[in-house]
Amino acid sequence: MTMKEQSTLKPVSNAADVYPSRVYPEPKLISRTDPVVYNHSIEQPVINEDQLAFYEENGYLFLEEFFDESQVQLWKEELARLWEQNKHEKKPEVIREPGGDEIRSIFAVHRDDEVFKQMAQHPSMQAIIKQILGSDVYVHQSRINFKQGFTGKEFYWHSDFETWHVEDGMPRMRALSCSIALEDNHANNGPLMVVPGSHQIFVSCVGQTPENNYKSSLRKQEYGVPDQESLKYLVRQGGIVAPVGKAGSVLLFDCNLMHGSNSNISPDPRSNVFIVYNSVHNKLGEPCSGQKPRPDFIASREA
Amino acid sequence: MTMKEQSTLKPVSNAADVYPSRVYPEPKLISRTDPVVYNHSIEQPVINEDQLAFYEENGYLFLEEFFDESQVQLWKEELARLWEQNKHEKKPEVIREPGGDEIRSIFAVHRDDEVFKQMAQHPSMQAIIKQILGSDVYVHQSRINFKQGFTGKEFYWHSDFETWHVEDGMPRMRALSCSIALEDNHANNGPLMVVPGSHQIFVSCVGQTPENNYKSSLRKQEYGVPDQESLKYLVRQGGIVAPVGKAGSVLLFDCNLMHGSNSNISPDPRSNVFIVYNSVHNKLGEPCSGQKPRPDFIASREA
């Protein structure tokens, strides 16, 4: 497969949907039919064959201290600047904590901020992503998550792909997230937890999607929430891992990996930057929900 | 000091209160003036000198797999029975999750349940407690905490003594808690976190206590909450430790140790039994808040 190969995927139609969700009265577990790694011949110097195999099997890869301190420092300064600038800003890109007024996330930082635009284009990251997705890529979504000390709330378990598929019309599983830690993560400040191997199963969720769901779901998700029995099944199979390490560490994870995090009452904030890359062969179609697409700052259609 | 020595402590009066809280407009850090270990000469075969010294310095002691599997199994069966029995029970001893109807705690199990009465009187535990508190003891409070999988919420940082002192009139720091794990605890199911060494500092909290505060505070504490600056100070000094281990493990901790826990979105429940022992020389006086004492199921006056 070459980087220039054109997409053969059609826009998602409900009839032929291989990953239906929010349509059945009961949850279903559906086996993944898409590859996890799209190019197995190593074509970059950043990750090796073992790391690629680990990613394929587990659905994630943790790269400890991937970026050095001085780089992280620059990003943290920019983050502090953005936090100040957006403290009282009322714009859709700025999401606040449920039941509070503190900033939880700022979206589209790869589009609106020069520093994070460069981060998203970082050659080492691009090289890994293109290796895994086997094609050119574009940024589907980016955001900074501020998980404040003392008050940071949990993110419940979810597969990103479920939402991107249903609400954004992402056709297939050919996307991944990079979470770049801007603070040290440790077991007690609510680190991201993943269920290894869960990327191989699609959990078809129950419940329809209300119009403009994103306005509340970015604060607290209520639709596209996997059921407890399915989660128990996945955790029995794969356990739970919370990769933690110093600021500058990078966690790569497949778009269908089940993940979440507990609250953070420790004094230590846990801020990170999420950048989601999608293959150029996997551009968005019509949302499976039949509703109008979510805004561009959540799901880019300008690829 | 002998076990029979009579108390010389007077009931707490606001004027001479060495641990004032909820009375000043600003938080204060007050040095502890009470011993942590009241009897240093080893008089039991259960814990040794090193363990006692660890407790004194850090304010807690973790005894891994202190009770064996068959014992734990019996307690778990009783817990399951109590859970079923109280599912729809409307009585003050049964506390439900904030914003939900699931049981969070059942109080006074040492009083109302034969099995847990025996647990509270377990000779090995009694021996340790009497060693540390240097006197005969009685159960000040007991409860089962059910931290459900998926939905268990956090307990914010607090010193138990602060509440017992202000709301129950416990005169001095001569009490401790035993948390007996009835499920395996691991880093990801919201284990109890402690701040080692924090038992040496009393954080005087801000805000008055409303009448009948306990009715809401057992679900979600809003008074007697330590301020963020004080917590940062304590954590800078001592860090955060989350002692985890198999079911049957026991965590002993001083009444003034700062502790809390994050939420639990993992499928694994985290149930434990809390038993608080108080020295017979430290019986409750008038609550410092000037309000009427909390009910007996929260703070026993029948010692």
Indicate yes or no: CB of B262 within 8 angstroms of CB of A235. Answer: no
Provide the number of structural domains found in chain A: 1
Whether B100 maps to a domain, the answer reads yes
Question: What b/e sequence results for B143-178 when a residue is b if at least 16 CB atoms lie within 10 Å of its CB, and e otherwise?
Answer: bbbbbbbbbbbbbbbbbbbbbbbbbbbbbbbbbbbb
The CATH number given to whatever domain includes residue A267 is 2.60.120.620
pLDDT at position B236, please? Answer: 96
pLDDT average, residue stretch B42-66: 97
Whether B23 maps to a domain, the answer reads yes
pLDDT at position A281, please? Answer: 97
Whether A116 maps to a domain, the answer reads yes
pLDDT digits (tens, 9 = 90+) for A13-47: 466 899 999 989 899 999 999 999 999 999 999 99
- pTM exceeds 0.90: no
With a CB cutoff of 8 Å and minimum separation 6, the contacts of B72 are B182, B247, B248
| Closest chain A residue to B266, measured at CA | A240
Indicate yes or no: CB of B262 within 8 angstroms of CB of A260. Answer: no
Q: How far is CA B254 from the centre of its chain?
A: 8
CA distance B144 to B126: 19
pLDDT digits (tens, 9 = 90+) for A192-209: 999 999 999 999 999 877
Distances B155 to A72, A75, B71 between C-alpha atoms, Å: 32, 33, 28
Whether B214 maps to a domain, the answer reads yes
With a CB cutoff of 8 Å and minimum separation 6, the contacts of B164 are B140, B170, B175, B255, B299
Say which range, B169-178, B231-240, B279-288, has the weakest mean pLDDT: B279-288
Whether A228 maps to a domain, the answer reads yes
Q: Can you give the residue range of the structural domain that contains A14?
A: 3-279
- Residues from chain B contacting residue A260 (CB–CB below 8 Å): 265
With a CB cutoff of 8 Å and minimum separation 6, the contacts of B269 are B146, B147, B148, B149, B152, B183, B189
Whether A167 maps to a domain, the answer reads yes
For residue B183, the 8-state DSSP code is S
CA distance A153 to A119: 26
Indicate yes or no: CB of A265 within 8 angstroms of CB of B260. Answer: yes
Whether B145 maps to a domain, the answer reads yes
Q: Which of residues 179-208 of A touch B (CB under 8 A)?
A: 187-188, 190, 193
User: Does the interface predicted TM-score (ipTM) exceed 0.85?
Assistant: no
Percentage of chain B modeled with pLDDT above 90: 72
Q: What are B8's two structure tokens?
A: 């010389």
Nearest neighbour of B262 by CB, restricted to A156, A190, A235: A190
Whether B301 maps to a domain, the answer reads no
